[in-house]
Structure 1
Amino acid sequence: MASTTIQVSKETRDHLAALATERGLTLGQLVQHLAEREPTKAQIAERLKADRDHARTLLDVEMTDEEFDNAPDVLGNIYRLAAEKVRTARGEVA
């Protein structure tokens, strides 16, 4: 694999080196891991398209991208309901 040089401040370099040491990685491996965790806009769009295509197939529905965009936030609603249940169980007032 070809390598390259990235210029950062001394403080950033030292911080990254400390993180790499804590994780048992080289500095290059750490930077690679960090980069792999942060998708580009194109990668996010590709994943979104794949997820929507999978949902269309799984649910056997013909939803447009606009319909997906305007659909309710089901996961967000599930999180909200779960949080309300926890607060109720603890006797907290919403």
Structure 2
Amino acid sequence: MAHTTIQVTKQTRDHLAALAEERGLSIGQSADALAAAHPTAAQRAERVAAARAHAREVIGVDVSDEEFASLDVLGNLRRIAAQKALARPGRNAT
């Protein structure tokens, strides 16, 4: 892989070096991890499109992008988790 140089202030360089050292990484490895953890808007859109295509394939139903956008998947997961927690035997009632 080709490498390049970026210019930052000495303060930023020192800060990045300290963060990298705390994690046992080089500054370059730390920058790579940061970039991987924060995808661009285009990368997020690609992931959403791939996830929707996979979901369509798995469920066998053509769900439009508008229908996907209106789904509250996280809200449904929270509701299910709450129901399971409440149904757990020996749960302390408050």
TM range (shorter): 0.7 to 0.9
**Which TM-score applies when normalising by structure 2?**
0.77
- Cα displacement string for residues 28-82 of structure 1 (whole angstroms, at most 9, x for unaligned residues): 11111111111111111111111001111111101111111122x1322322453
**Which TM-score applies when normalising by structure 1?**
0.77
Q: What number of residue pairs does the alignment pair up? A: 91
Q: What is the deviation of 1:90? A: 5.3
Q: Matches of residues 1-94 of structure 1 in structure 2 within 5 Å?
A: 1-71=1-71, 73-80=72-79, 82-83=81-82, 89=91, 91-92=93-94
What code does the residue aligned with 2:74 have? L
The 4+ residue runs of structure 1 with deviation greater than 6 A are none
Taking only the aligned residue pairs, the percentage that are identical comes to 57
User: Where in structure 2 are there 5+ consecutive unaligned residues?
Assistant: none
User: Where in structure 1 are there 5+ consecutive unaligned residues?
Assistant: none
What code does the residue aligned with 1:39 have? P
